[in-house]
Chain A
Amino acid sequence: MAVVQAILDGLMIGGVYAVISIGLTLVFGVMGIVNFAQAEFLMLGMFVAYYAWAWLGLDPLLAAPLAFVVVFLLGAAIQRVLIRRVLKAPEVAQIFLTVGLLIVLENAALLMFGSGFRSVSTPYQTSSLQLGPLFISVPYLAAFAMSVASGLALWLFLKSSWFGRAMRATAQDPMAARLIGIDADRMHMLAFALGVGLTAFGGAVILPYLTASPTVGTQFAVLMFTVVVLGGLGSVAGAVVGGLAVGIIQSLSALVFPIQLQNLVLFVVFIAVLAFRPKGMLGAAR
């Protein structure tokens, strides 16, 4: 029964992992760059939600859309000012631009918010539902539900709005997209802003069960890379599968290994996937 419980927990946190990683894969799919700073936007989302709670008394789940909007705007600005300039540059420039961004965001947060750990308290924080012999933690369930909702919203957006279809067209064939009058620059900005905004949304919904700190991003960075590589860099559907898989792997390995080594399991999976299936387990290139 412990195994079933672990799988259930894994699915719950995996849903969140999927949503925070979709942004990473979206940006790679549309622009061909890996945003090494992606996890820092999760941290920013957590802080937006934290201050919304501390100052306005807003529940983090309700503050999540606010986190999305704030970070969406920040992301659009960052794309405009920084990322846009290296899209045609050598890979080394692309890699170290976002690495530099990671360092700047983390330390700017350290300066603004201090190095302390911050957490919120909500009425449902410690409650859980009983389902026969299984328990579902309410904050996990809430975060999962919010993630599923935002994932569905994104899916609808990509599927049926003009912007969404234009964005996918840009990802598949930038030249052709330009020919039919799609402004690639605007699509890139939208993709980047959406991507980091969604990650921030995910940061907000996990605040009820995780503490925020300026360095929280490092905990998530390799995890997010594992999710997207597992599902195939650039594939949104892959990120969902990858997220659930990583959640389950993580909570199952918690049954066997001490906490520090759980990450080790992830890293090994990560390197193995990169080595043997660099296009991801689904084999989807884009």
Chain B
Amino acid sequence: MSGLSPRHWAGLALLAAFAIALPFAFEPRGYGIRILCLALLFAAMAQSWNIVAGLANQISLGHAAFFGIGAYTSTLLLIHFGITPWLGMFAAAALGGAAALLISLPTMRLRGHYFALATLAFGEVMRVIGNSWGGLTGGPVGISVPFAQPSLALMQFRETRSSYWLMLAALVLVTLVFVAIKRSRLGYRLRAIKENADAAEVIGVDTTRTKIIAAVISGALTAALGTLYAQFQFFFDPDTVFGVASVSVRMAMIAIVGGIGTAAGPILGALFVIPLEELANQVFSAQAAGLSQLVFGLLLILVILIEPRGFMAIGPRLQRLFGKGDRR
């Protein structure tokens, strides 16, 4: 399990080459490539959520808090101090991590529904603050990232292609972090907590500390991705970046649809959910607002009812169905 076989490496290399070359198949500033960018970004977000929810089973409904903190931090630093978003991203991650620590301290003892409720409220607190602290955030009317000459130094690009590669790099990085955690002592401890917290404590796992470390890493990564979102969209408001449905639930749903707790799950989930949503928007929105969101909700319910372990469980299921190779 520690090393991949040469065939796997070859497969991964092929996949990487494909992912890097993919933008050349699209119009440089077209709609298709923008959707791909969003899919990659949301895959990375879902992967960050996966660190706490997938590995430790701490189901957060408030990750929008970190995402919004990240988006506002780098944007405000850029507006007021001219600090490049590359640095702003680190400031965002630091603040996101600090926020995760702050909310972890009182909520770490909570499990299951209680934890979900507490994190949901935390996300809403941040949304309310974002809307009411107009002096800082611009309030409900939103905030614009100052547009300069496209330059790598300011993380602004002439062609969407460049954004694509940035998002791709972010996704790869977050996925590597996820895999590294999963295989590390932290990963073993998180799994132990997920499966039996009392037993984990008794055999020497500091469950509180372990959960907090995972929450801080997850919060910091999510906040850094908030910076990428701000630089990609150029405009956002509190209801968007701190939104329950638009961010918190969407991150979670993508991970669940793909396969919660697996590295490939969030990627598969995002490549399915985001284009589908965009398609629904394209097809339906003209006639009826709400239809694409309705599709989103129905999809979530269907996945939960049919296969709550997501796409990643379908492969093994089919194998079992046809009687090939039992699990390990």
Contacts and interface: CB of A to CB of B under 8 A. Distances in A.
Contacts of A104: 294, 297-298, 301
B131 A96 contact: no
Interface stretch (B76-84, B87-95, B117-125): B117-125
Contact of A274 (B110, B129, B297, B304): B110
Nearest to B126: A267
A129 B296 CA distance: 48
Contacts of B252: 96
Interface residues of A, number: 50
B132 A267 contact: no
Most A CB contacts (10 A, CB to CB) among B114, B249, B296, B297 go to B297
B249 A99 contact: yes
B61 interface: yes
A28 B314 CA distance: 32
Interface stretch (B34-42, B141-149, B285-293): B285-293
B305 interface: yes
A82 interface: yes
Contacts of A130: none
B305 A95 contact: no
A50 interface: no
* Chain A interface main SS type: helix
A274 B113 contact: no
Interface in B303-328: 304-305, 308
Nearest to A113: B290
B115 to A, nearest CB: 9
Most A CB contacts (10 A, CB to CB) among B109, B288, B304, B305 go to B304
Contacts of B296: 103
A94 B61 CA distance: 13
B252 to A, nearest CB: 7
Given A92-B260, A104-B297, A85 B106 contact: no
B291 A111 contact: yes
B53 interface: yes
Interface string A246-280: 00000000000010110110011011101110100
Nearest to B119: A271
Most A CB contacts (10 A, CB to CB) among B61, B125, B289, B301 go to B301
Contact of A103 (B103, B110, B249, B305): B249
Given A99-B249, A110-B290, A278-B109, 7 more contacts: A92-B57, A103-B245, A103-B296, A103-B300, A260-B128, A274-B107, A278-B110
30 contacts: A90-B308, A92-B53, A92-B256, A92-B308, A96-B253, A99-B61, A99-B249, A100-B304, A101-B297, A103-B245, A104-B301, A107-B290, A107-B291, A108-B290, A110-B289, A111-B290, A214-B290, A229-B117, A260-B131, A264-B132, A270-B118, A270-B121, A271-B118, A271-B121, A271-B122, A272-B106, A274-B121, A275-B109, A278-B109, A278-B110
Interface of A: 28, 33-34, 36, 82, 85-86, 89-97, 99-104, 106-111, 115, 214, 218, 222, 225-226, 229, 233, 258, 260-261, 263-264, 267-268, 270-272, 274-276, 278
- What are the 7 tightest A-B residue pairs by CB atom distance, in nearest-first order? A103-B297, A275-B106, A110-B290, A100-B300, A104-B297, A107-B290, A100-B301
